Structure 1
Amino acid sequence: MVNWRALSQTKQDRIWSEVNQLIKWMPGSRFHHIIPPDPYRVFDISSGMSSKAGHNDVSEVLSDLETSILKAFQSCTGKHDVIYALDWQHDGYIFSPHQTVPKDEFGEWPVPVFPNGDYYFFFYQDFSWGLLGDPWKRTITVFGKELLKAIDKYPPILFQDR
């Protein structure tokens, strides 16, 4: 099975409808607040967008973010479980964190963890936990007890106070 399968438009529309209800998100409105279910934590990721940090620092931090999040996803899922990877206004995917994650020509996942211009959302198959990247607020919100515990176990450098 090839990992990271594109979602059909019908499936993607259904998932976005569920997501918009779950996180009370109204994309396109002036008040595009993301309000995830409790428990959740919001992490400021603006340092990952900083041009003050050296280029190598930023790429190391982003690589660490990807590695840590993948470990957290793996610890919260069984071998046959899947995660939805959603990129606002672009193709969404379904994938297993236990299989190889393909990278594009920029060395990124098909839907990156770090929101570098688009909203990037990841949801467990039953929507009980997820990760929500907001490029405008420069935050990543993690919700769901299980994923929060995994993030504490595998904390990305970007989520730690420096």
Structure 2
Amino acid sequence: MNSWIPMTSDQYRLAWDKMYEDFKFKPSIHSSDWPSFRLPSPFVTYDVTEYTDADIDDLEEKCISCLRAITVPEEYIYALDWQHQCYLYYPHRERGDVGARIGFYPDGDYCFFLQKDFKWGYLGHPWEHSISLFGETLIHQFEADRPTIFG
């Protein structure tokens, strides 16, 4: 089964409306406007300016591993790519569908991975070169299986 299911227009609107309203999301390339979103406590932010290809590969693997650890089989999360196709992402399913996916490193667009009730999330900021995590469950899982890019 496909691990990346394109969101319907209703799902897309619901997820982005919540990002704009609850997280006060204001996308901007200007550092004077950052941070571009407000995070609930607890949260942690990592500077990911310095990286190698091996760091990105490690980040991808650790993110999948962490998301699998805190979700149950057949549970989806929101995978949001600002101004692009967004998905319901099923971390436990096989990744054979490489063409349709959102990477975990914010390499040009905001990338957000959010628990469907918005209890935890992973938010990548492309111009700030940062990745923020919120929610105790997600933070603790990444502390236990930390990507090298997080230092």
Q: Which of 67, 72, 76 is the equivalent residue of 1:73?
A: 67
Provide the C-alpha distance between the structure 1 equivalents of 2:61 and 2:28, rounded to a whole number of angstroms. Answer: 31
Which residue of the other structure, out of 56, 78, 99, is the alignment partner of 1:62?
56
> 2 CA distance for matches of 1:119 and 1:29?
11
Q: Does 1:117 align with 2:71?
A: no
TM-score by length of 2: 0.91
Residue 134 (1) aligns with residue 137 (2): no
| Mapped pair 1:157 → 2:126 | no
Q: Distance in 1 between matches of 2:18 and 2:127?
A: 22
Where 1:34 maps in the other structure, the secondary structure is: coil
State TM-score, norm by structure 1: 0.85
Picking from 73, 89, 100, the partner of 2:94 is 100
* 1:38 has 2:29 as partner: no
- The structural deviation recorded for 1:10 is 2.3
Paired residues of 1:22 and 1:37 also in contact (CA < 8 A): no
> What SS does structure 1 have at the residue aligned with 2:37?
coil
Q: Which amino acid in 1 is paired with 2:139?
A: L
1:32-55 C-alpha deviation (Å, 9 max, x unpaired): 52211110000000002xxxxxxx
Alpha-carbon distance between aligned partners in 1 of 2:29 and 2:63, rounded to the nearest angstrom: 29
Equivalent in the alignment of 1:83: 77
Determine the C-alpha separation between the residues in 2 that align with 1:84 and 1:103: 17
Residue matched to 1:146: 137
Deviations 1:28-84 (A, max 9, x none): 596352211110000000002xxxxxxxxx211100001111111011111121111
Once the two structures are aligned, what percentage of the paired residues are identical? 29
Aligned-pair Cα RMSD in Å = 1.6
Which residues of structure 2 form unaligned runs of 5+?
Answer: none
8 Å contact from structure 2 (residues 80, 87) kept in 1: yes
